[in-house]
């Protein structure tokens, strides 16, 4: 299971938290069934946005990223998100990006322009079910330059690019430069978990262009299709009607929420809905989640668990709901109504106790 991790340039907001809590729930449900789950969650610490944030803070990019990573890890621990089996960092995989670029060049899936290597992206948007106009609008939102004079096609993206003055750069056969964003994740996933994944998780906003290009690069270099057998694109969290993002200034930080509410209540608020559904954060909803959490704890302690057959049936109903596309709301309803073993199973599997 590969989980698209953070770019460590700001502390954890609820949009981040929703993705990582849901990925954790998916892994917990699989482990509950006896499945061995190997989780890889990357850290994108080679990124233009990170460099800009560090410069504004008057800090080196690596030390700035380390501080942000510490805060992120602290928030994840509070939310009971288990540490991943692997946590590759982009700056430690630059050599693998160079290897990826060389292999893509050899296969003809990429071409060289000066000191840069471009991936041939024509057809990637169609595979993602998007028309050219919509795809390019989304790509531009993530910093893609469709007017790049060095690219042969507007949909081509850099696997390796020339570093701008003042940017950190690494050596390559094409000159000093930096890895492209999509290539970083492709290289980290391939290096850590091999040519194919059982499950790839990340925010819904990363579906295109990031995940589409990451998959296309991986498949082009390995010949293994599909790169990911299943996808978990977690629904976007909004605040004030807009997607929660630093650029819109509407961030709700996990650390601020945890100063006034239990971590388990925030975790419950995140998962008490369909995982792919976008939703609007309302501060008052935290009170409702806290109250429901208390009811679940009470149900776990006092529920009707005397009759073994009834207890087994209710616990089985909880498991069946979780296996039905992670239907947490139904599992919670069964747990609250039946109590006893069913409630204890929900609290345990969902990481709420």
Tokens 């909803």, located at residue? 285
CB distance 201 to 22 below 8 Å: yes
Taking every pair of Cα atoms in the chain, the longest distance, rounded to a whole number of angstroms, is 74
User: pLDDT tens per residue, the chain (353 residues)?
Assistant: 999 999 999 889 999 999 999 999 999 999 999 999 999 999 999 999 999 999 999 999 999 999 999 999 999 999 999 999 999 999 999 999 999 999 999 999 999 998 999 999 999 999 889 998 999 999 988 888 888 889 999 999 999 999 988 889 999 999 999 999 999 999 999 999 999 999 999 999 999 999 999 999 999 999 999 999 999 999 999 998 898 887 788 899 999 999 999 999 999 999 999 999 999 999 999 999 999 999 999 999 986 545 555 668 889 999 999 999 999 999 999 999 999 999 999 999 999 99
Q: What is the DSSP string of 219-269?
A: HHHH--S-SBS-EEEEPPEEETTEE--GGGT---BHHHHHTTS-HHHHHHH
Chain mean position to CA 124: 21
Residue 308 confidence (pLDDT): 58
CB distance 204 to 235 below 8 Å: yes
282-353: CATH class = mainly alpha
Neighbours of 282 (CB within 10 A): 11
* Distances, alpha carbon 117 to alpha carbons 14, 103, 187, 225, in Å: 36, 11, 15, 23
333: Cβ contacts below 8 Å, ≥ 6 apart: none
Helix (H, G, I), strand (E, B) or coil at 96: helix
Phi-psi region of 4 (alpha: psi -120 to 50; beta: other; left: phi over 0): beta
Strand pairing class (237-239; 242-243): antiparallel
Show me where the domains of the chain are located. Answer: 282-353
Cα 157 from Cα 79, distance rounded (Å): 36
Positive or negative, the CA dihedral 269, 270, 274, 280 is positive
Residue 334 confidence (pLDDT): 96
Residue 166 confidence (pLDDT): 83
pTM of the model: 0.95
Chain mean position to CA 137: 22
Residue 278 confidence (pLDDT): 97
């Amino acid at each position: 299971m590969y989980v698209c991790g953070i770019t460590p340039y700001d502390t954890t907001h609820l949009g981040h938290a929703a993705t990582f809590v849901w990925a954790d729930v998916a892994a917990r449900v699989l482990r509950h069934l006896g499945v061995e789950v190997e989780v890889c969650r990357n850290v994108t610490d080679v990124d233009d946005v990170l460099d800009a944030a560090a410069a504004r803070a008057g800090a080196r990019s690596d030390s700035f990223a380390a501080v942000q990573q510490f805060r992120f890890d602290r928030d994840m621990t509070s939310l009971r998100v288990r540490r991943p089996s692997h946590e590759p960092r982009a700056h430690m995989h630059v050599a693998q990006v160079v290897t990826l670029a060389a292999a893509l060049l050899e296969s003809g899936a990429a071409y060289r322009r000066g000191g840069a290597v471009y991936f041939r992206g024509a057809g990637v948007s169609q595979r993602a079910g998007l028309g050219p106009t919509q795809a390019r609008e989304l790509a531009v939102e993530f910093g893609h330059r469709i007017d790049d004079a060095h690219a042969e096609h507007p949909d081509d993206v850099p696997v390796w690019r020339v570093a701008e003055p003042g940017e950190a750069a690494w050596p390559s056969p094409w000159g000093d430069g930096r890895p492209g964003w999509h290539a970083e994740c492709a290289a980290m996933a391939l290096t850590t978990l091999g040519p194919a994944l059982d499950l790839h998780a990340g925010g819904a906003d990363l579906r295109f262009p990031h995940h589409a290009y990451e998959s296309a690069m991986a498949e082009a270099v390995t010949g293994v299709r599909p790169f990911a057998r299943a996808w978990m694109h977690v629904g976007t969290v909004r605040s004030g009607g807009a997607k929660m993002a630093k650029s819109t200034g509407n961030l709700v930080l996990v650390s601020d929420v945890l100063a006034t509410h239990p971590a388990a209540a925030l975790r419950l608020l995140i998962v008490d809905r369909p995982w792919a559904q976008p939703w609007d954060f309302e501060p008052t909803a935290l009170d409702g989640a806290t109250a429901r959490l208390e009811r679940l704890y009470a149900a776990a302690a006092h529920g009707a668990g005397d009759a073994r057959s009834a207890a087994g049936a209710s616990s089985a109903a909880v498991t069946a709901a979780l296996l039905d596309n992670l239907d947490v709301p139904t599992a919670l309803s069964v747990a609250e109504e039946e109590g006893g073993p069913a409630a204890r199973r929900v609290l345990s599997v969902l990481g709420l106790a």
